[in-house]
Amino acid sequence: MLKLVFSSSCRGHCLNTVAPRLRVKSDSNSLFDVVGRLTGLTRRSPTNSLSRAFFCSDSNDGSGSGSGSQPVVEVEVKGVESDSDGSDSKASSAIVPTYPRPEDYLTVLALPLPHRPLFPGFYMPIYVKDPKLLAALQESRKRQAPYAGAFLLKDEPGTESSPSSETEKSVYDIKGKELFNRLHEVGTLAQISSIQGDQVVLIGHRRLRITEMVSEDPLTVKVDHLKEKPYDKDDDVIKATSFEVISTLRDVLKTSSLWRDHVQTYSQHIGDFNFPRLADFGAAISGANKLQCQQVLEELDVHKRLQLTLELVKKEMEISKIQESIAKAIEEKISGEQRRYLLNEQLKAIKKELGLETDDKTALSAKFRERLEPNREKCPPHVLQVIEEELTKLQLLEASSSEFNVTRNYLDWLTVLPWGNYSDENFDVIQAQTILDEDHYGLADVKERILEFIAVGKLRGTSQGKIICLSGPPGVGKTSIGRSIARALNRKFFRFSVGGLSDVAEIKGHRRTYIGAMPGKMVQCLKNVGTENPLVLIDEIDKLGRGHAGDPASALLELLDPEQNANFLDHYLDVPIDLSKVLFVCTANVVDNIPNPLLDRMEVIAIAGYITDEKMHIARDYLEKTAREACGVKPEQVEVTDAALLGLIENYCREAGVRNLQKHIEKIYRKIALRLVREGSSNESVMVQPADAKAEVVDESDHHAAANKADVEVETSVQVDTVQTNDQPKDPKDAADSKELQETEATKAVEKVVVDTSNLADFVGKPVFHAERIYDQTPVGVVMGLAWTAMGGSTLYIETTQVEQGEGKGALHLTGQLGDVMKESAQIAHTLARAILLEKEPANPYFVNSKLHLHVPAGATPKDGPSAGCTMITSMLSLAMKKPVRKDLAMTGEVTLTGKILPIGGVKEKTIAAKRSEVRTIIFPAANRRDYDELAPNVTEGLNVHFVDDYSQIFSLALEYDVNTMVN
């Protein structure tokens, strides 16, 4: 039994491929059987007397319901015999009768095909919109004459092929003779397989040629049945052409999955094929246009038809190759980017699902706009313009590009800054004074300057930023003063240290072209504090570095210049920022290390340090309280006497600041905490033993109870109340009360720790400093001078003695690790002393004949500075005149060769050092009178200060006195 299955072409307007619905088994080698079977077409066995042809539709059940569904027509054919003209059986019987035979139909209804011709053996669905034509088709099918002629419609002259819908519309409008003239002469006799509504499914049988028109509505024509011209089945040329067609079909099968179903289906039944049908099959499933297909349909010469089909399938093969090469090139071009895009999209989806990121560009823009909205009205117009431009740019960039991340970070910084947002300032002078006094003792100059700033702001209604520089030794509270000022002004506080800073980008920011670029410290400050008028503390400004990345001191000029910082330009933001409302407070240990152009923009407030009285108040009111709370010690458990604090300040913490004093106080309280814990633990263990002892006594026999009870009371007389409370309680509440009472008694049992001068060394060790005053009575040739150091002021002695005496041996030898300035001062002092001695005692040749040795004690400490000249002269004259200097006198000042006294620095520090050494009389240069007058009364109290402008005044004060009054 043979099965003949015909499939439609998907490229024409035919039915979908029916191979997946076939009830036959696929054979992978069937394509190669084509050649062998084609060679044996003429030697088929005539014993096959019965065969069936299945014309398969797209419907599995054959119900024909729905659009595009057709029933299955099953035909039994007896005596099938294939001949050269392709004729079918002589007699047949079927479910749908085929009598009369197809070749008997010489007059048929003409059906126009707008898109492609119908080849014999193929399905084709068409739509019939003409009611009369549709009725005629139904009527002929009822009369068991289900045949019609299907003819391809010609294009209108002078027009190109129109789209499908327009062509069909024109077909419906054409009728009668006009339609007859538009039809190709050669068409196909088509069996009407099914009619569903206006859809008619046709099955091609054989070729027809129109001879004349019979009727116009519906169009009926007379036709002649065409047969292929006779050909020789054994012709080598025809065989070779057919083999080439099959070979090409096999190559197309490898490249195009679209053809695979067609070729596999027909190759399984190649026994039913002959050369003409092979040509029709190749042309029908090719992608050729309708005119080329019509040319194959009209060709009756088998060899020429095979050649035409070969051209079509060859062209199809070339198209497939071109398509494959184009697809490969495009795929190679976009595969990398596409893969990256897909992976990024998957990553975004995963992050979104996990809630890690809302990655959408629209969401980013919405976030930036929402962040900017509260300050939009206050934001400067030029900044708003930049933000809008960057938001537009962000929408045009790909999320995977590096420029996208740069723009996103830039917008993040631009929108997070507090444009036009200011904190409400405190203009209440009384409240500010209270806050400053709470945090710091003394420092009248600093507090007065801050109160002036508040007063000016109150009168103007607005505050303008200033630049204040607090200079002084370490530990005097410069940084904490800045924090207190911010609290007094109700401003946000931001601190950054520039000690050792050598990169300009830390101040001005990096340019956005660099990887990892960030704004400078000021932009970061505004982001952190959230206002445009914070207090910015620039710490250690005297320790700025200078490296390969530029000079930060020069970069600070724009930041700290009141005339320039209203338009401060950060390299990263690249938009002007108004810093004119910022209050800058700088701190420095030594003002001399600050570059002059930078120092010129600051208002310097010197904090010289604290005298002993101020340190006592600070230790008692601030440091002791903080240390006690940090160590968990209660006030009633400890007492530090004033004498102990005074000894701590004078013998351990003599520097100008109070940081070292704070460390020593914390050390005292830590040792007190350890002692309290030890004593408390020992008392608890002692308190438990009497309770056990008493319990044992109670359990003794009656005749010994009274005596033992008395012994226990004697042994535990201190803990009587505790023992009695620890008797067996009657309920849990009594037990809890007894426990609390135990703790209270244990606390009472620990004695209060008293820290006094007698036991101070037990807490902080041996004294570090001894009295700076080495001599109670200064000997001949020794004078006390005053010096300034970075740690504050100090007193030092200058000693001169005679080494050798002889005629013309006058010379001077110096020791004490003196600097160049002090060495020159010693030479000047030696020369001037000789002149003064010659004037006062002309007959005294001491300096001419004496070799002198001048020494400044503490030789391990370098010493230099222009303030020891008058002290050295006095020391030399004292030795030459053999008269000691007054014991309570200290002096400072530089002298010229003519005896003039030059001004010095560090007046407050030197005054404090003099008071610490119990000096009552001080000699200062006259030019320093204004500096002394600015000192607080508690600093100058008890001092007798002389201001001199010539050394003769010093000579009279230091050496010309009554020796009898010196004892007093």
CATH of the domain at 722: 1.10.8.60
Residue among 773, 788, 919, 784 at smallest CA distance from 863: 788
- Amino acid 664: pLDDT: 92
Cβ count within 10 A of residue 336: 9
User: Does 926 map to a domain?
Assistant: yes
Give the whole-angstrom CA distance, residue 853 versus residue 264.
Answer: 124
Q: Are residues 188 and 274 in the same domain?
A: no
Q: Are residues 438 and 533 in the same domain?
A: yes
- pLDDT: which is higher, 110 or 56: 110
- Amino acid 493: pLDDT: 93
- pLDDT: which is higher, 606 or 769: 606
CATH of the domain at 132: 2.30.130.40
Which parts are annotated binding residues? 472-479
Would the pLDDT of 172 be above 80? no
User: Does 270 map to a domain?
Assistant: yes
pLDDT band at 770 (very low <50, low <70, confident <90, very high): low
Minimum mean pLDDT range among 237-241, 709-713, 952-956: 709-713
Would the pLDDT of 584 be above 80? yes
Residues 261-290 have pLDDT tens digits of 555 555 554 445 677 877 777 777 777 777
User: Of the residues 867, 875, 878, 915, which is catalytic?
Assistant: 867
Minimum mean pLDDT range among 224-233, 380-389, 898-907: 224-233
Q: Are residues 950 and 898 in the same domain?
A: yes
Residues 610-623 have pLDDT tens digits of 878 888 999 998 89
Q: Are residues 81 and 161 in the same domain?
A: no
Q: Are residues 279 and 217 in the same domain?
A: no
Contact between residue 450 and residue 491 where contact means Cβ atoms under 8 Å apart: no
Residue among 341, 265, 290 at smallest CA distance from 155: 290
Question: What are the two backbone dihedrals, phi and then psi, of residue 960, each rounded to the nearest 5 degrees?
Answer: -90, 75
User: Does 878 map to a domain?
Assistant: yes
- End-of-domain residue from the set 560, 588, 606: 606
HEC secondary structure over 310-371: HHHHHHHHHHHHHHHHHHHHHHHHHHHHHHHHHHHHHHHHHHHHHCCCCCCHHHHHHHHHHH
* Mean local confidence (pLDDT), 150-168: 63
pLDDT band at 55 (very low <50, low <70, confident <90, very high): very low
- Amino acid 950: pLDDT: 92
Q: Are residues 464 and 552 in the same domain?
A: yes
User: Does 336 map to a domain?
Assistant: no
Residues 66-122 have pLDDT tens digits of 333 333 333 333 333 333 333 343 333 334 444 567 777 778 888 888 888 888 877
Q: Are residues 482 and 589 in the same domain?
A: yes
Please confirm, yes or no, whether 910 is among the known catalytic residues: yes
Please confirm, yes or no, whether 25 is among the known catalytic residues: no
pLDDT band at 771 (very low <50, low <70, confident <90, very high): low
Cis preceding-peptide flag for 20 (omega within 30 of 0): no
pLDDT band at 665 (very low <50, low <70, confident <90, very high): very high
User: Does 327 map to a domain?
Assistant: no
pLDDT band at 800 (very low <50, low <70, confident <90, very high): very high
Give the whole-angstrom CA distance, residue 474 versus residue 663.
Answer: 14
Q: E strand or H helix at 225, and its extent?
A: strand 220-225
- Amino acid 405: pLDDT: 87
Q: How many domains does one find in the chain?
A: 6
Q: Are residues 189 and 144 in the same domain?
A: yes
Which parts are annotated binding residues for ATP? 472-479
Q: What is the pTM of this model?
A: 0.54
Residue labelled with tokens 């004892």: 967
Would the pLDDT of 348 be above 90? no
- Amino acid 99: pLDDT: 54
- pLDDT: which is higher, 559 or 30: 559
Contact between residue 387 and residue 368 where contact means Cβ atoms under 8 Å apart: yes
Q: Are residues 213 and 263 in the same domain?
A: no
**How many Å separate Cα 359 from the centre of its chain?**
14
Three-state SS for 671?
A: helix
Residues 412-437 have pLDDT tens digits of 999 889 888 888 888 888 988 998 88
- Amino acid 426: pLDDT: 84
Give the whole-angstrom CA distance, residue 925 versus residue 915.
Answer: 18
Would the pLDDT of 249 be above 50? yes
* Mean local confidence (pLDDT), 693-699: 38
User: Does 769 map to a domain?
Assistant: no
- End-of-domain residue from the set 542, 573, 606: 606
Q: Are residues 48 and 170 in the same domain?
A: no
Give the whole-angstrom CA distance, residue 486 versus residue 493.
Answer: 6
User: Of the residues 290, 615, 910, 915, which is catalytic?
Assistant: 910
Question: DSSP string of 701-742?
Answer: -HHHHHHHHHHHHHHTSTTHHHHHHTSPPSSHHHHHHHHHHH
- End-of-domain residue from the set 735, 764, 793: 764
Q: Are residues 71 and 118 in the same domain?
A: no
Give the whole-angstrom CA distance, residue 614 versus residue 593.
Answer: 28
**Assigned token pair, 905:** 């620095």
Question: In 750-900, where does DSSP find H-type helix?
Answer: 760-764, 820-840, 846-849, 869-881
Residues 20-45 have pLDDT tens digits of 333 333 333 444 444 344 434 333 33
Minimum mean pLDDT range among 584-588, 617-621, 697-701, 914-918: 697-701
Residue labelled with tokens 């120092």: 599
In whole numbers, what is the pLDDT of the chain averaged over residues? Answer: 76
CATH of the domain at 913: 3.30.230.10
Would the pLDDT of 592 be above 70? yes
User: Does 821 map to a domain?
Assistant: yes
**Domain region containing 472:** 429-606
Residues 812-852 have pLDDT tens digits of 999 988 989 999 999 999 999 999 988 888 888 888 888 99
- Amino acid 93: pLDDT: 35
Minimum mean pLDDT range among 270-284, 329-343, 599-613: 270-284
- Amino acid 526: pLDDT: 92
Three-state SS for 927?
A: helix
Q: Are residues 466 and 576 in the same domain?
A: yes
pLDDT band at 48 (very low <50, low <70, confident <90, very high): very low
User: Does 333 map to a domain?
Assistant: no
Residues 860-919 have pLDDT tens digits of 788 888 888 999 999 999 999 888 998 789 999 999 999 999 999 888 888 888 887 888
